[in-house]
Amino acid sequence: MSQADTRKSIFITGAASGMGLATAQLFASKGWFVGATDVNQAGLDAFAKDAGADNCFTSVLDVRDGDAYAQVLKDFAAQTGGTLDLLFNNAGIGAGGFFDEMNFDDVMAVVNINFVGVMRGIHLAYPLLRATPNSLCFTTSSSSATFGMPGIAVYSATKHAVKGLTEALSIEFARHGVRAADVLPGLIDTPILPEGTQDGAPSEGMFRLMPASSVADAVWAAYHTPDRLHWFVPEEIGELDKAAGNTPELVREQIKNTGPLAAVIKEMEERAAAAK
């Protein structure tokens, strides 16, 4: 008998901190068998200690390593009898700055982790999802997938790609009974945020600071809501998504001149000018 027994299972990348950890903790508390992976061994060990060794599978995993990813999924599947109820592609990194001033190796690291790593995980895990009734392929996109965000252009581009991939796969995978959806978080209190961001975050509005648990709640709700494609955290992000689709030029001017990123952009420009 597998370690998971008859329990539902979730496999999470980027599970050692932030949204991934909050999701791992929530699903473990709900009685699911949790596969938690990350590059952070200490964070995984702390989760395993809290969840209990019988309730989880943990492994260090860099999503850029295809061979390692395939082996980790094989080891996980051995504990679940070859099934997977929910794949949560959450691992991601951020790198900010003006695109033309970024080191291209940093650019490609964002692309390879945030998008190529997501595609790799979905492709490798799909046989497990297909073997499991009502399974869900769920991925972390971002509010920056509503409109390309200055200062994080490459990150934003990868999240647009994730959103588009999810929409296409939600149609393709339906032929095998597998669902696909994503979450588009706004400003979430996680280690990926630049230092000091929390202090300057607005207390209200769509870019107010939200706890990592709010994303975990969205993952839980997504599994139990078969027809919904995009999950916005907070819900107001959905209004930005609509506006960006209907009036992108207006949204561009608002972001540039009066939006929540205007002050950040101005500071970046002043810092760049001072460095010359």
Catalytic machinery residues: 155
Cβ neighbours for 178, distance < 8 A, ≥ 6 positions apart: 126, 129, 130, 135, 136, 137
- DSSP letters along 10-24, please? EEEES-SSHHHHHHH
Distance, in Å, from the CA atom of 119 to the CA atom of 116, rounded to the nearest integer, reads 5
Inter-residue long-range contacts of 169-172, CB under 8 Å, 24+ positions, other chains counted: 169/122, 169/137, 170/229
Report the candidate in 68, 65, 87 with the shortest Cα–Cα distance to residue 131: 87
DSSP tag of 198:
H
- DSSP letters along 28-58, please? HHTT-EEEEEES-HHHHHHHHHHH-GGGEEE
